[in-house]
Homo-oligomer: A and B are copies of this chain.
């Protein structure tokens, strides 16, 4: 583990929600935190000034995508991902385990790694734990992730068990292979599909390894909400107290509220950005479909309770007009608002945890928030 990286647990709320600070070579991250997804070295439709301005301190990029385009060697040659992209804050990279599962073609899992064809041009590639570590080292990120296998939902128990063992073997190979360049520290990913005993075993095994943080992978893969909650409930208590806990790919605002209460520190999800591009805005009352005819003459901002610069300057009528006219600006404005909403939710959660009032905060939020879009 690098000297630069440190996780300070500041306080724990009666619910189990945790308030902490992650120190990295590129700056501090106050937790619980939401990490905007910047797949291809940019958060879609947003400048880095925008990303800073919504309150993000760390962004996520994707090993799989950047390996295919523009290539890790090009990024290394240009000084690493920070210098290449112009984002000066901390960067975490997903290892590609999920993307080879969800995006790549002709995926063939072998003990050595995963053979796949690029979704861009069909070219064949082999991701091994060692290559994935090399890519992330070339990118020069602050938090690289171990290479894991993400099981589909549902999976047969025998497959899930074999897959988990493979993920554990790969986790050890990642630790051995990680060159530790540039102060980057490795997080492990626990799996176990939807088998309670495997989930427990994986959480314990991965936590026993010298990872700087522990992520929960393999959830939010299309399972029913109850399954998701049940697994989270099983796994969370097995995660070590003094390392950051990261729930990958989650989720809706109500999911974040729930998971923060179970002691999760880090989140990433494409929902605020992807749904914004499809005209869905998250608001304090619930999701709003900005294209809906009912907003054609509505002079109110998307969320009257929001203080972001979009809600300060933009009416629902104007936003609807931009979406109906297919203007890119609509996607930019909606994305900005949604990111602000997610980051502000985390900011308010942190405040509530600091005063031991997280249960009350979460009750109030959920009382106002109707998950049904309108």
Query: Which A residues are closer than 8 A to B by beta carbons?
Result: 40-42, 44-49, 69-70, 74, 77-79, 84-86, 296-297, 299, 309, 313-315, 317-318, 321-322, 324-325, 327-329, 331-333
Contacts and interface: CB of A to CB of B under 8 A. Distances in A.
A44 B331 CA distance: 11
A324 to B, nearest CB: 7
A69 B328 contact: no
Contacts of A309: 49
A45 B324 contact: no
A223 B84 CA distance: 43
Contact of A329 (B47, B74, B296): B47
A42 B324 contact: no
Copies in the complex: 2
Nearest to A74: B297
A314 B42 CA distance: 12
B84 A317 contact: yes
Contacts of A41: 318, 321
Contacts of A297: 74, 77-78
Identify the 5 closest CB pairs spanning chains A and B, nearest first: A70-B321, A40-B325, A45-B328, A42-B329, A86-B313
A86 B322 CA distance: 13
Contact of A45 (B74, B85, B313, B332): B332
A329 B46 contact: yes
B69 A325 contact: yes
Contacts of A84: 315, 317-318, 321
B47 A324 contact: no
A82 to B, nearest CB: 11
A309 B86 CA distance: 12
Nearest to A79: B299
Given A41-B318, A44-B328, 19 more contacts: A40-B322, A42-B329, A44-B327, A45-B329, A46-B329, A47-B329, A47-B333, A48-B313, A69-B324, A69-B325, A70-B296, A70-B321, A78-B297, A79-B299, A84-B318, A86-B314, A86-B315, A328-B328, A332-B332
Given A69-B325, A328-B328, A331-B328, A317 B44 contact: no
Contacts of A49: 309
